[in-house]
């Protein structure tokens, strides 16, 4: 089941996200995010009228996807950055694709024109997911992040709805 995230999902969202914070370079955050912080991020996103979705399995949140503002200037209002995170035990089961299908449909209903996604490299699974949704690599930034004593490249994929 896929639905809009709600404040009571914050502990599950934090748990899913913090796995990536503490164990991977998928995000460049280095400190765990509390449920209170996640609840505020969710509220900010929903206040901006942008979708934040969760997917449940056996009535447990196992993943989430959302769209956030690309930039603050008003001319960017038709462009968003998309993000998806799954419980690390639930990857490669179709949940990411299901979330993105619903997310992209929601964005089309909001007259969003361009979607962008930043991907730390290497990350073959994330690249495959974004390309499955018609996104193409448009930029590559070398060694722009430093995490776990390593320099990390970030590339951007873009699609038009």
Average pLDDT value for residue range 75-90: 95
Confidence band of 9 (pLDDT split at 50, 70, 90): very high
CA distance 82 to 51: 10
Helix axis angle, 10-23 to 35-47, nearest 10°: 110
pLDDT at 92: 85
pLDDT at 18: 98
pLDDT tens, position by position, 33-81: 999 999 999 999 999 999 999 999 999 999 999 999 999 899 999 999 9
CA distance 64 to 46: 14
pLDDT at 68: 96
Percent of the chain with pLDDT over 70: 100
Domain ranges of the chain: 2-160
pLDDT at 148: 98
pLDDT at 100: 98
pLDDT at 91: 84
Q: Does the pLDDT at position 93 exceed 90?
A: no
| Homologous superfamily of 2-160 | Gcn5-related N-acetyltransferase (GNAT) (3.40.630.30)
Angstrom CA distances, 122 to 21, 95, 138, 151, 153, stand at: 16, 21, 16, 12, 8
Average pLDDT value for residue range 18-22: 98
Q: Is the peptide bond before 100 cis (omega within 30 degrees of 0)?
A: no
């Amino acid at each position: 089941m896929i639905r809009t995230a709600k404040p009571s999902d914050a502990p599950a969202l934090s748990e899913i996200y913090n796995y990536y914070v503490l164990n991977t370079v998928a995000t460049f955050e280095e400190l765990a995010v509390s449920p209170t912080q996640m609840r505020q991020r969710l509220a900010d996103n929903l206040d901006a009228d942008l979708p934040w979705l969760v997917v449940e399995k056996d009535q447990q949140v196992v993943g989430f996807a959302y769209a956030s503002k690309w930039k603050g200037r008003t001319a960017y209002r038709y462009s968003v950055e998309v993000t998806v995170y799954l419980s690390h035990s639930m990857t490669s089961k179709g949940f990411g694709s299901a979330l993105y299908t619903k997310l992209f449909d929601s964005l089309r209903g909001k007259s969003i024109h361009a979607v962008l996604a930043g991907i730390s490299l290497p990350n073959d699974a994330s690249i495959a997911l974004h390309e499955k949704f018609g996104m193409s690599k448009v930029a590559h930034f070398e060694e722009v992040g430093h995490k776990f004593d390593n320099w990390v490249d970030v590339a951007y994929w873009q699609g038009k709805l």
